[in-house]
Amino acid sequence: MDLPRNDLSMIHRFIPATVEGATPLLLLHGTGGDESDLLGLGGLLSPGAALLSPRGQVLENGMPRFFRRLAEGVFDEADLRQRALELGAFVEEAQEHHGMARPVAVGFSNGANVASALMMLDPTKLAGAILIRAMVPFAEPPAFDLGGAQVLLLSGGMDPIVPTDNAARLARQLQEGGARLTHEVLPTGHGLGQMDLVIAREWLAASFA
């Protein structure tokens, strides 16, 4: 059985590809998750693709996260910038170490937020992203150019954590930053559900065939 690895700058799990040419997935868990949380989702989204799944390096009440926050929905933006760039450096390390191509990020909640921050701070690190229940990462986003990278944003119309206007603002920022964005607002709350899986799997197959 594959076990967590600490041979790179972040504890992670890596599942090698079994399908040649499949785009690797970078799996980024939500608050309280770990490097094993989204492996099942990754396998369902793209069977046979390489899966790279790091553990967030910040603890909040003992729960792993990818960056600090000051309160619910209020991010420590200095820490977010540092951690997002550290994640980008880890992705680069992992590409060389594991012999993988640039991945598509699949992030849920906190993981989606660090993925969108990384895309804004260093658009070269990811091939694209699936952002599930993401919110605006920066009060004043940096100038960035995603150069047509494919991004899927899945928001919850009844999400108590991410207001619909916040998700819409993130969508505008990504579009203005050059993303080829698909934004779906689902009749659900903050949790990850079957609709997310179905839409994300179809989008991934169409966008990265």
- 190 as an active site residue: the answer is yes
46 is catalytic: no
Catalytic-residue membership of 109: yes
Whole-number pLDDT of residue 122? 97
Kindly report whether the global pTM for this prediction surpasses the value 0.85. Answer: yes
pLDDT bin (cut points 50, 70, 90) of residue 2 is: low
Cα–Cα distance measured from residue 158 to residue 148, given in angstroms and rounded to the nearest whole number: 30
Checking if the pLDDT of 9 tops 70, the result is yes
Distances (CA, A) of 77 to 59, 70, 91: 16, 9, 21
Minimal CA–CA distance to 208: which of 157, 162, 152?
152
Domains, the chain, ordered by start: 12-207 (3.40.50.1820)
Q: Which residues of 165-180 are buried (b: 16+ CB within 10 A; e: fewer)?
A: ebbeebbebbeebbbe
Catalytic residue among 53, 116, 155, 159: 159
Please write the tens of the pLDDT for every residue from 108-152. Answer: 999 999 999 999 999 999 999 999 999 999 999 999 999 999 999
Would you give the end-to-end CA distance of the chain in angstroms? 29
pLDDT digits (tens, 9 = 90+) for 26-84: 999 999 999 999 999 999 999 999 999 999 999 999 999 999 999 888 899 999 999 99
- What single string gives the DSSP state of each residue in 18-77? SSTTPPPEEEE--TT--TTTTHHHHHHHSTT--EEEEPPSEEETTEEESS-EEETTEE-H
- Compute the residue count for the chain: 209
Active-site residue among 46, 53, 109, 155?
A: 109
